[in-house]
Amino acid sequence: MVEFSKRYDDLMNNRLDAQQSLIEELNAPIIKLNSSIGVLPLIGDVDTHGFSPYRTTFPINVLSLM
């Protein structure tokens, strides 16, 4: 029973990590206008704390569009 609980816990943690990654990716959508220009729409106030997720996902998303 202990082994089942551990495996179930690992499975759920992996699912949560994957879902969190998807949410973070969707929070920074880059709209490709042409081969060299993209737009990152921002709505509302953006402070240092609010912008921190973009610092990691933005470069990755830009490279995937090229």
Higher pLDDT, 60 or 14: 14
Higher pLDDT, 1 or 53: 1
Query: Which domain covers residue 32, as residue numbers?
Result: 2-65
**pLDDT tens digits, residue range 1-48?**
789 999 999 999 999 999 988 777 666 677 788 877 878 777 777 777
Q: Which amino acid is at 48?
A: T
**pLDDT tens digits, residue range 14-27?**
999 999 887 776 66
Domain count for the chain, please give it.
1
pTM, entire model: 0.46
Q: How far apart are CA 15 and CA 23, in angstroms?
A: 12
Q: In this structure, what token pair is assigned to residue 42?
A: 């921002």
